[in-house]
Chain A
Amino acid sequence: MNDCHEIKKHLYVFLDDELSVTENVGVLHHLEHCKLCFSLFEQEKQFGHSVKKNAMDQTLPAGMLQRMTSALEQADSSSSPVIATAHSTSGWGRRIAMPLFSLAAAILLILGTSMILGILETNKQPTRSVSAGELAHALSADFNVHLQGNKPLQACSDLGAVTSWLNDVSASDRYITRVCVPNLCKRGYQVEGASYSPLIDEYNTTMTSFTLNGKNVAFFCFNVGDIDFDEEHMTRIAGRDVLWKKQNGATVVLWGRGKCSHSIVSTVPDDELLATVEMILKMKY
């Protein structure tokens, strides 16, 4: 994709992260060498950021949250609970139903306790066998962020599968998924059980969790600004803004810190990526 006309045709789609991996790489390559197209790209990027930032500057009307929760409360109470309205029990029916209900409750209690104990045990002795989706949930709890939608994705140890996977990913910031994971796959790393998890927080965080040669890894990527990641427990890698920590049996990588969204620098951290990956693979946990 060396033609300026072609680049212009694809520019918005590129900015929206809707191009295929191959097309994406083509546009990036052209932008690196064409000042005019790069200037247009920068202008469109600045325009897009400005529109988003200003449009998002909107507070809820006073009391709206309370009014919404009240409306939900009212809707919930007006819809009869499923169990309570299933049958109208009386007489013998009720005498049989109550012990059965108690028995079911006891079983649920035992199962629930076992599950809680199991979870506690898992937390005490993290294993590498959790799925990428489970890892995403565990880490979202650790970092006090909410999963917007955890999308379990197919294993992607070859580029074709990765391309298919990326086309299925939805969110604004796909730096990790668009660039890092394909690069890893192309270099022969085994990336499997990938799970892409857009998170809801004020930083528009995204997280991608997967197994890398059998090790659990989660990459966090931030659109803007800084975030209170406890840096005391992390180490810089390759002298750049790549920080990691061990969390919940996985290596968590904090990437970008404000320079990873829709950015031409997407091609730069390739060496950082490889340095990071090599360090992850050497870690013992």
Chain B
Amino acid sequence: MTGKKPMKRDKQVFEELALPLLDSMFRTALRVLRNEKSAEDLVQDALLKAFKNFHQFETGTNFKAWIFTILMNAFRNQYRKAQLEPKSIDVETVSMFYAAHGDDMFSTVDRGNVNFTSLLSDEVKRELETLPPEFREVVILSMVEDFTYQEISDMLSIPMGTVMSRLFRGRQLLKQRLADYAQSMGYIKRNSAV
């Protein structure tokens, strides 16, 4: 199968599978790159790589997970190495997050009176984009694109425990920031009593 080029009939099948995913590919690329032009270039790069290797896609498996793996690989290979991304914090230090925080792990962001439904799209996007890159990737792939932990683990080549800890910490950071924003804007529930 190695080196097999896509046949004519494959292009139509590929387009039927891939083009409906352009929206989610682009928004993911945009969130991790924070630049529209770069995001479009990344999507095109991933799209062409996926097309070239379409014969390797196993029918019956999750196409979205497959093409997102290519997208995230393209991002890592081209953009991370070019150091377009700011240096992130050592997220591995949060791998023991659950154990370290115990019962208090939700306390820092337990803002029961915050009305998150009033959040504005731009603010959510801005806060997503300013998360540390490793957190940002897993948060977007899980919370926005609905990939499973296993799929994200395969996609990013990191252990599933790391996916979970990054996702946990990323969520907490995002929630804290958005809660601060929501409170500053006065998005408070009228009846916050439990």
Judged by a CB distance under 8 angstroms, whether A95 is at the interface is: no
B124→A13 contact, CB < 8 A: no
* Tally of contact residues, A, Cβ under 8 A: 56
Interface residue from B7, B52, B124 paired with A50 (Cβ < 8 Å): B124
B23→A150 contact, CB < 8 A: no
A71→B47 contact, CB < 8 A: yes
Q: How far is the CA of A259 from the CA of B33 in the complex (A)?
A: 34
Residues of A within 8 A of B64 (CB): 148-149, 198
Q: How far is the CA of A152 from the CA of B125 in the complex (A)?
A: 36
Residues of A within 8 A of B71 (CB): none
Identify the 9 closest CB pairs spanning chains A and B, nearest first. A172-B146, A54-B124, A149-B62, A58-B27, A54-B121, A50-B116, A39-B194, A79-B5, A170-B148
Closest to A170 in B: B148
Contact segment of B10-18, B79-87, B88-96:
B10-18
Residues of A within 8 A of B116 (CB): 43, 46-47, 50
Residues of A within 8 A of B168 (CB): 12
Residues of A within 8 A of B74 (CB): none
Residues of A within 8 A of B8 (CB): 76, 81
A57→B61 contact, CB < 8 A: no
B106→A18 contact, CB < 8 A: no
Judged by a CB distance under 8 angstroms, whether A237 is at the interface is: no
Contact segment of A59-67, A213-221, A244-252, A276-284:
A59-67
Judged by a CB distance under 8 angstroms, whether A257 is at the interface is: no
Interface residues in chain A, defined as those with a beta carbon under 8 Å from any beta carbon in chain B? 4-5, 8-9, 11-13, 16, 18, 35-36, 39-40, 43, 46-52, 54-61, 64-65, 67-69, 71-72, 75-76, 79-83, 133, 146, 148-152, 170-172, 198, 200, 204
B146→A171 contact, CB < 8 A: yes
B121→A68 contact, CB < 8 A: no
Closest to B8 in A: A81
Q: How far is the CA of A261 from the CA of B44 in the complex (A)?
A: 33
A148→B178 contact, CB < 8 A: no
Contact A12:B48 (CB < 8 A) given known A51-B128, A200-B20: no
A54→B26 contact, CB < 8 A: no
B144→A60 contact, CB < 8 A: no
Contact A71:B44 (CB < 8 A) given known A52-B144, A64-B26, A150-B60: yes
Interface residue from A54, A83, A170, A200 paired with B119 (Cβ < 8 Å): A54
Q: Which of B61-115 contact A (CB under 8 A)?
A: 61-65, 98, 102-103, 105-106, 110-112, 114
Interface residues in chain B, defined as those with a beta carbon under 8 Å from any beta carbon in chain A? 4-8, 11, 14-17, 19-24, 26-27, 30-31, 36, 40, 43-44, 47-48, 51-52, 60-65, 98, 102-103, 105-106, 110-112, 114, 116-117, 119-121, 123-125, 128, 140, 142-144, 146-151, 164, 167-168, 171, 174-175, 178, 194
A68→B60 contact, CB < 8 A: no
Majority SS of interface residues in chain A?
helix
Q: How far is the CB of B172 from chain A (nearest CB, A)?
A: 9
B144→A56 contact, CB < 8 A: yes
A5→B102 contact, CB < 8 A: yes
Interface residue from A4, A71, A81 paired with B7 (Cβ < 8 Å): A81
B19→A16 contact, CB < 8 A: no
Q: How far is the CB of A59 from chain B (nearest CB, A)?
A: 8
B143→A48 contact, CB < 8 A: yes
Residues of B within 8 A of A58 (CB): 23, 26-27, 30, 125
A65→B7 contact, CB < 8 A: no
Q: How far is the CA of A198 from the CA of B27 in the complex (A)?
A: 20
B26→A52 contact, CB < 8 A: no
Interface residue from A4, A60, A204 paired with B26 (Cβ < 8 Å): A60
Residues of B within 8 A of A57 (CB): 121
Beyond the given pairs A9-B98, A12-B171, 20 more chain A to chain B contacts, judged by CB atoms under 8 angstroms and listed by A's residue number, are A16-B142, A16-B148, A50-B178, A51-B143, A51-B144, A54-B120, A55-B125, A55-B143, A56-B27, A58-B27, A64-B22, A65-B22, A68-B43, A81-B8, A83-B7, A149-B65, A151-B61, A170-B65, A198-B62, A198-B64
Q: How far is the CA of A145 from the CA of B148 in the complex (A)?
A: 22
A76→B36 contact, CB < 8 A: no
Q: How far is the CB of B74 from chain A (nearest CB, A)?
A: 14
Contact A76:B44 (CB < 8 A) given known A152-B60, A172-B146: no
